[in-house]
Amino acid sequence: MLFGVVSRTEAQWQSIGTDRGSVDVYVPENSSGKQLPLAIGLHAYSNSGFILESTMQMQSVAEDRQVILCYPNGTLGFLFLRFWNATFACCGPTTGVDDSGYLRALIEQLQATFEIDPRHIHLFGYSNGGFMANRMACDHSDVVASVASFAGGSWLDPANCPAEDPVSVLLVHGTEDAVIQYNGGTLPLIPGVGPYPSHEQSVEHWKSLHSCEDESVFESTIDLHESLAGEETVVRQYGDCRSGVTVESWSVQGLGHLPVWSNFNLSGALMDWLLAHPKPAPCDCRGDVNTDCEVNFEDLTILLSGWSGNGQADVNQDGICDFEDLLIVLSAFGSSCG
């Protein structure tokens, strides 16, 4: 098997074929008949899924939390270095390689092959893989529940991010990162790339996209890296975002791009964060015309503008929007089912 798993767990690594070759998938013990979360790990530029697992050691975390784990590989590019075509800044050609489409197809293939909880499809990535995790949240917000990006970022131009459905996003970055700089920059030695946003710009991008309230920020500190003094990581969690998702920033004070992984308690922390942020449950409020899980003036406005029609405003679906529909909305007015 790809990761050289010991005999006790060898049977749990399974290989599935894709149009880019085989991808290895870890399935926890005693999981038959259960719908499990899926976590996809995305490697750094020039690396591979094997290297990411070797450094982060997510297999034991996935076994303990009962998570299906998958490590796809990017494309061999310049000087035969693997990359994900994530954004204009990192780290491949802007045309010709559709990694977003490939990973979406991989998710669908995994769903068809294994028993996966549709509310728990998560991605985590490091560096170039972190940029790609952000890209997946932008492009496939209909299926992705949450992403965790370490030393990566979003699009520099938020207009390139078409996310229509809410996705919880965790951005982790070392303040002394000289490769993907905390305050933004441009990657050297990779031809054709553009500037990437700062950590704070990526945070603001997701806050704005999900209408998070600045006043609802919760700040704390945690200890993630044993070789850095004290509780070195500043956590800012933004709530009151649409549909109950979370945007969160972990700024690791004094950390560079290449941490001492054995001293970095990141793997379990990332997995726990992802699992704590599933896709919001679908709501079914009687009278919720615009399906935002609340019955309010917006629903009333839509109903009145569609009066006598038979579209979205026809709440009881009897073929016409009339007083019966209006009574349904008024009787449920002010309620919430989110």
> Which position has the higher pLDDT, 321 or 168?
168
Quick check: 320 pLDDT over 60?
yes
Instruction: Given CATH 3.90.190.20, say whether it is the number of domain 284-338.
Output: no
What's the average model confidence in pLDDT over 114-135? 97
What's the average model confidence in pLDDT over 161-177? 95
pLDDT in tens, 222-264: 999 999 999 999 999 998 887 789 999 999 999 999 999 999 9
User: In CATH terms, are 10-275 and 284-338 the same topology?
Assistant: no
Q: What is the pLDDT of residue 5?
A: 37
Alpha-carbon dihedral sign for residues 225, 229, 230, 233: negative
> Which position has the higher pLDDT, 166 or 62?
62
**Bridge-partner residues for 116, per DSSP?**
36
Query: Smallest Cα–Cα separation from 128: which of 162, 97, 168?
Result: 97
Share of the chain above pLDDT 70, in %: 94
Quote the CA–CA distance of 195 and 182 in Å, as a whole number.
Answer: 13
pLDDT in tens, 284-294: 778 888 777 88
Instruction: Given CATH 3.40.50.1820, say whether it is the number of domain 10-275.
Output: yes
Is this structure's pTM higher than 0.85? no
Domain borders along the chain are: 10-275, 284-338
Q: What is the pLDDT of residue 338?
A: 60
Q: What is the pLDDT of residue 310?
A: 63
- Residue 1: pLDDT band (50, 70, 90) is very low
Distance between the two ends of the chain, CA-based, in angstroms? 44
pLDDT in tens, 24-43: 999 999 888 889 999 999 99
Q: What is the pLDDT of residue 96?
A: 82
Task: Work out whether strand 82-83 and strand 75-76 pair parallel, antiparallel, or are unpaired.
Answer: antiparallel
What's the average model confidence in pLDDT over 120-146? 97
Q: What is the pLDDT of residue 4?
A: 39
